[in-house]
Amino acid sequence: MGFLVGNRRRAGGGCCWLTITTFLSGFTVYPRRLLAAGERMALSYIIVVLACTAYYIHRYYKNVARYPPGPTPLPFIGNLLQIDKVNTHKCLERMSATYGPVFTVFLPRPTVIITKLPEIKEALIKKGDVFAGRPNSPIDTITSTFENGGIIFSWNELWRDQRRYAMHTLRNFGMGRNVMEEKIMSSVATLYGQVDELAHQDKADMNWPLQLCVGNIINELLFGYHFAVNDCAKSVYLIESVEKVFFRLRNRISVLLIQEYPWMRHLPVVGWQGYGEIREDFMKLIDFASEEITEHKKDLDYDAEPSTFTAAYLQEIRKREQNGNTDSYSELQLANVLTDFWSAGMETTATTMRWAIVLLVRHPEIQTKLQKEIDDVIGPNRQPKMADKTNMPYTSAVLMELQRKANIVPLNVVHKTLADTEVANLPIPANTTVLAQISSVLDDPESFPQPERFNPDRFLNADGKTFNATAVDHLVPFSLGKRQCAGESLARMELFLILVALMQRYSFSVPVGGQLPNMMPVYGVTQVPLPYECKITMRHQD
């Protein structure tokens, strides 16, 4: 009882506690024998409830003390009243200024936040094996059809095996080589056709042309075909479903409650908003992947050289079945792996390119300088190649600053500690959720002075040809360590080739009578720009 009295302000029950104390004191005035049986029963219940409450609060704050210090949480709801629901990453940055680069917030699940690069490297690189886990609450596995499915949210040996196989197969398909360039430029050719038509309009929205271009690159890699411009309703449907999932996961408090208290997903309203509706939307993508697997199986030659990731994986399943050892390889697992690649690979790169248009419209002087380097190195007609990049330092700097300023992943995918450990000499228990905040690193004024500015020159030395090592070291949009983005090399190729191809052929500006695009992002799993229409001008007329 003394614990409750000493912490009544923290627990928010000062008046209530005083009332209960007065009520109980009243009973001491009367002999126990004068109390009616019902009153004695009620008193017993009150004493039991208060004792259980005191014990729960005592155990709760004893558990809180196991983690790095942070804002004081409340029982059951943790720090939810202190955390901004929208732009949560900015709220965490402000907390970091008070509590340091390693602190704990209760969302209400205890989550250790790491906001500075040295501490993130200590965790994800130096102690990478310990931090390689993933939490497995219903929310953390909401995009999987079974426990420990896919690659992004799986863990332990299954994750290692699936990631190793996926990386090996993607390299065989030319990831980082000329054959992948050809696949990208094939999608860019379709993009040209769309944007050429938009250039005849007074104003145009680049959103869907970019989404289709990037989506088709992933689609060809996984399934072997492109969505046609005049027959892409299915692609639009899937992309919109993914966008809904990404928005709802970051904008609903019910998601956080179910993450800590899984039983709440069975409640009406809360369970539907925080789990059911989100999962239903993502299962549309799982169904799409399953349909593609079925189509592949109809005419798949299991002995031929595979031309898609799906075909290669199906052959691997057959080979393991013949050896009597399927392990974790199945069509269900394949569907989960495919959705991981499709959703992550499509959404992140397309969103970055959308920010590229917004930022270059706002900064025509940077666009002009970028186009001059493209004209000098490649010229107006030749198709860009990855080999050109080494001769284009300013273009590389623009791409770096674009990824830094867009900062499209406000909250990194969380990790879980697999053993007791520490970071910055602060203890972190096993099975703790850890959030390495790469968005804070990209926005750090110590590494990037005036981080709100879009300034590619920050990545270049005074000679304009060599790179600022400190700035480059702090550019970590793909995260770090053993769980670093598996599609990083493909994303880098896409960003360079698509941006250069667009800047070589077009200029983007504010339409007549229009305004500069708004820089306020739409908050979600990814931060997307608000819808914007720009004026597109052909740079070189035939």
pLDDT at 172 over 90: no
At 30, list the tokens: 């009367």
pLDDT at 23 over 50: no
Q: How confident is the model at residue 519 (pLDDT cuts 50, 70, 90)?
A: very high
At 486, list the tokens: 């598996």
At 435, list the tokens: 């959030």
Q: How confident is the model at residue 81 (pLDDT cuts 50, 70, 90)?
A: very high
First and final C-alpha spacing in the chain:
85
The share of the chain scoring above pLDDT 90, in percent, equals: 78
Higher-confidence residue of 360 and 148: namely 360
Range in 370-379, 392-401, 482-491 with the lowest mean pLDDT = 482-491
Mean per-residue pLDDT, 193-206: 95
Q: Give the model's pLDDT for residue 175.
A: 64
Mean per-residue pLDDT, 116-136: 96
d(CA 49, CA 252): 31
pLDDT at 448 over 60: yes
The share of the chain scoring above pLDDT 70, in percent, equals: 92
Q: Give the model's pLDDT for residue 469.
A: 95
Q: How confident is the model at residue 297 (pLDDT cuts 50, 70, 90)?
A: very high
pLDDT at 400 over 70: yes
pLDDT at 14 over 80: no
Q: What share of the chain is helix, strand, coil (3-state, %, to 5)?
A: 55, 10, 35
**Is 419 in a helix, a strand, or coil?**
coil
Q: How confident is the model at residue 403 (pLDDT cuts 50, 70, 90)?
A: very high
**Is 466 in a helix, a strand, or coil?**
coil
Higher-confidence residue of 11 and 500: namely 500
451 HSE (CA, 13 A, CB side) = 18
Q: Give the model's pLDDT for residue 348.
A: 92
Q: How confident is the model at residue 491 (pLDDT cuts 50, 70, 90)?
A: very high
d(CA 350, CA 335): 22
Q: What pTM value is reported for the model?
A: 0.89
pLDDT at 457 over 90: yes
Higher-confidence residue of 369 and 172: namely 369
pLDDT at 11 over 80: no
pLDDT at 29 over 90: no
Read off the DSSP letter of residue 483: G
The secondary structure element, H or E, covering residue 536 is: strand 535-538
Mean per-residue pLDDT, 22-48: 63
pLDDT at 15 over 70: no
The secondary structure element, H or E, covering residue 89 is: helix 88-99
- Highest averaged pLDDT of the listed ranges 177-181, 282-286, 322-326: 282-286
Please write the tens of the pLDDT for every residue from 58-80.
899 999 999 999 999 999 999 99
The secondary structure element, H or E, covering residue 46 is: helix 37-64
pLDDT at 10 over 60: no
pLDDT at 144 over 50: yes
Point out the annotated binding site for heme: 485
d(CA 190, CA 192): 5
Please write the tens of the pLDDT for every residue from 302-314.
999 998 999 999 9
On the question of a cis peptide bond just before residue 108, with omega within 30 degrees of 0, the verdict is yes
> Residue with structure tokens 């050892």?
325
Please write the tens of the pLDDT for every residue from 330-372.
999 999 999 999 998 888 999 999 999 999 999 999 999 999 9
* Residue among 266, 274, 454 at smallest CA distance from 360: 454
Q: Give the model's pLDDT for residue 35.
A: 54
Mean pLDDT taken over the chain? 90
pLDDT at 417 over 50: yes
Q: How confident is the model at residue 171 (pLDDT cuts 50, 70, 90)?
A: confident
d(CA 231, CA 219): 14
Point out the annotated binding site: 485
Q: Give the model's pLDDT for residue 176.
A: 55
The per-residue b/e assignment along 492-523, b for 16 or more CB within 10 angstroms, e otherwise, is bbbbbbbbbbbbbbbbbebbeeeeebeeebbb
Higher-confidence residue of 31 and 374: namely 374
Contact present, 76 and 107 (Cβ < 8 Å) = no
